[in-house]
Structure 1
């Protein structure tokens, strides 16, 4: 009988290395939020520009980030199902008109529901063109943007001109009430007035997030969590995302691909419509105006892409855009110039992180971006007034472009799919 040969014992040298545990996404988000606050606090201390971390700036940033956040969430739902949605701008425009019309006749909540309905109609029209008739997604999105602008222009002339005398503007409409955590807000206000480095900065930013907050802001933040739970923790969400990864494989497993794409685009349009409603129904905002969105749908799409098609990532992208916009409104050119200095510090942190991850190209881009921004800061005492409205967004784009280098879109995004394709 031949002797049985025992397998060689595995030694530490021959054992495969254990896979590294990835940090949970929520923890990464918390760490980056801490880094951002530390950078703002340091910048405020070094430049003497207190408005960087003031209550007013944080509160304005929250209000301005809402339409971008809701548009980005709308893009997330559509593109996770495999449909490119550059028609978010048109759906937001439909939402602005619907919000003003519904609020004028039925109050703020009726206005919000009308905005969702009008936006969802835009999303379903995009689904009809791309899913049923196989129209190119980009062409359909452009058409939705033009159609939204044209339809609201006609409806405003038909409905609002007899009421306000102006075909481009609605009559005054009711706004959402705001709420504050009074006791906590007063305590944070006392800390902010103490002007202590670090403590007062954090107090000012937190106070802006809990003072004069509208119900729509609370709903939007809950929708971020809800979108994550539905898309990543439910059977429906798994099926919907499978339509964006491989619709043929999804259909072979019994998934109704058309139904899930239609549902995703209806939700996408409704969320974009809510973003349009936030421009009309929030306190401090204007009533309905023609082309009121001013490109926020495209900015929301950019925030979603930089957020790597994830709810937490797009929340960070929308916060950066909203903060940049709020800062130039509350602080002017001096604050934006100080933001350049803060961006240099943040890019330095990002470069170190990219070097630790051995992403050499991203680190090199970060060094180049930091050098450009520091040169602009060092060579200017103040920015030209014509550049102030755009410079903050330029800074945000540089930071996000360096930070988000490994983008991973759904594999079948933009693909024209036909039922039974895999047979």
Structure 2
């Protein structure tokens, strides 16, 4: 028997790890579980406002501009262009949206004008980054600075002297229409007022998303599945994403990388401009200087939290909008009740890490944090006002820190590209 006749031991292949896929049933089950946790917190703390229709409606309105800004960042970064200038494009959208509504006496004209304003800022960003290869961060920061100064100049030039206008604000704007499912209002209101476990909470949530919803809000929500379809289900989207992953390989297949990056950045600006127009036309009904309040940056954080995917981005925007709505309504009482929800969620995460992922160390750390949060909840009755105003920003930091290990940005995101460059 020779050496070649001996049996060869083959290495045992480890089966690939199963990836968690967020399907529609899983999403609905997760949302139902979240409502149950909120209901438990409501019964324990008496903070009835955490699932009220008013809070849900306010959260929806606050989530829309964040989601639109994040969706704009998604389009740009999927093509490989980092867009820190979302805040500046939103600022342009707030002013141009107000100007368009006043000029043409129609809120929908303001919507179009806001989109054009954001696209103008995006065109500057595309010229700098795509055409001339300027560092993406520097270009974005410059747009944020220029956007604020430019709109302040335009306000003094156009709005100052108008009846009800000034150097820092516009006159009142034409109102955007709303839609309501009137046949659901009275039954849901009755069930919500009973404060029953779970049932009243579901009634509050449903009433918040079915009564007095702006047509602009519906448009913004529809843009999320539309973006998913275009980017992940069409040849155009495949080529655009290839420009953000392997632009040289895309070029070798005949893709005009410059054109796709330009298109993505312009769409990014349009979406950010729509987010700004929403603030002036729907959220406030008037343009004010500094109206965006950093929502462009929070939208960028929502995009990162969503792992550069539309569904996760929408969830992040909803989370940030909800925490913002809580601190605006019942303040310290509602945020204090949210501590119990966070503790229960962390316990669930710890169990998942231990049972499904076999990560004992991570589960232990998560459990310790959950106990610490619960202790803070048990030893306090409310949250200081100074802390509640910081809740949305703190949520942004915590979510990004917890989600950082599972994130994967496009491979060529922020990498300068020049036609004909070597791999």
Q: TM tier, shorter chain?
A: over 0.9
Question: Which residue of structure 1 aligns with residue 62 of structure 2?
Answer: 64
Are the structure 2 counterparts of residues 410 and 14 from structure 1 closer, same or farther at C-alpha, using a change threshold of 3 Å?
closer
1:14 CA displacement = 7.8
Question: Which residue of structure 1 aligns with residue 231 of structure 2?
Answer: 231
Q: Is the 8 A contact 1:65 1:319 kept in 2?
A: yes
Question: Which residue of structure 2 aligns with residue 265 of structure 1?
Answer: 265
1:379 CA displacement = 3.0
1:166 CA displacement = 1.7
Question: Which residue of structure 1 aligns with residue 421 of structure 2?
Answer: 421
- Give structure 1 stretches of 5+ with no counterpart: 1-7
Q: Is the 8 A contact 1:180 1:211 kept in 2?
A: yes
Q: Deviations over 1:121-142 (max 9, x none)?
A: 1111111101111111111110
1:391 CA displacement = 2.7
DSSP 3-state at the match of 1:158: helix
Q: What's the RMSD between the two structures over aligned residues?
A: 2.5
Question: Which residue of structure 1 aligns with residue 140 of structure 2?
Answer: 141
Are the structure 2 counterparts of residues 327 and 157 from structure 1 closer, same or farther at C-alpha, using a change threshold of 3 Å?
same
Q: Is the 8 A contact 2:71 2:313 kept in 1?
A: yes
DSSP 3-state at the match of 2:420: coil
Q: Deviations over 1:279-302 (max 9, x none)?
A: 1111x5251111110100000000
Distance 2:64 2:385 in 1: 26
Q: Is the 8 A contact 1:38 1:198 kept in 2?
A: yes
- Give structure 2 stretches of 5+ with no counterpart: 1-6
Are the structure 2 counterparts of residues 271 and 165 from structure 1 closer, same or farther at C-alpha, using a change threshold of 3 Å?
closer
Q: Is the 8 A contact 1:362 1:402 kept in 2?
A: no
Once the two structures are superposed, the pairs formed by residues 4-403 of structure 1 within 5 Å of their partners are 20=18, 22-106=20-104, 107-163=106-162, 164=164, 166-282=166-282, 285-355=284-354, 356-359=356-359, 362-395=362-395, 397-399=397-399, 401-403=401-403
Distance 2:359 2:378 in 1: 28
Give the aligned length: 416
Are the structure 2 counterparts of residues 308 and 27 from structure 1 closer, same or farther at C-alpha, using a change threshold of 3 Å?
farther
Q: Is the 8 A contact 1:324 1:396 kept in 2?
A: no
Q: Is the 8 A contact 1:83 1:413 kept in 2?
A: yes
Q: Is the 8 A contact 2:174 2:285 kept in 1?
A: no
Choose 348-357 or 135-144, whichever is displaced more: 348-357
Choose 411-420 or 41-50, whichever is displaced more: 41-50
Are the structure 2 counterparts of residues 317 and 249 from structure 1 closer, same or farther at C-alpha, using a change threshold of 3 Å?
same
Choose 154-163 or 385-394, whichever is displaced more: 385-394
1:188 CA displacement = 1.6
Q: Is the 8 A contact 1:347 1:399 kept in 2?
A: no
The two structures have a TM-score, normalised by structure 2, of 0.92
Q: Is the 8 A contact 2:178 2:213 kept in 1?
A: yes
Q: Deviations over 1:150-173 (max 9, x none)?
A: 110111110011214520010111
Q: Deviations over 1:217-272 (max 9, x none)?
A: 11111100000000000000000000000100110111110000000000000000
Are the structure 2 counterparts of residues 249 and 133 from structure 1 closer, same or farther at C-alpha, using a change threshold of 3 Å?
same
Q: Is the 8 A contact 1:324 1:393 kept in 2?
A: no
Distance 1:56 1:407 in 2: 34
Q: Deviations over 1:359-395 (max 9, x none)?
A: 5565455335424433332332222222211135424
1:92 CA displacement = 0.2
The two structures have a TM-score, normalised by structure 1, of 0.92
Are the structure 2 counterparts of residues 148 and 195 from structure 1 closer, same or farther at C-alpha, using a change threshold of 3 Å?
same
DSSP 3-state at the match of 1:357: coil
Distance 1:402 1:351 in 2: 13
Distance 1:165 1:99 in 2: 15
Are the structure 2 counterparts of residues 79 and 325 from structure 1 closer, same or farther at C-alpha, using a change threshold of 3 Å?
same
Distance 1:373 1:393 in 2: 18
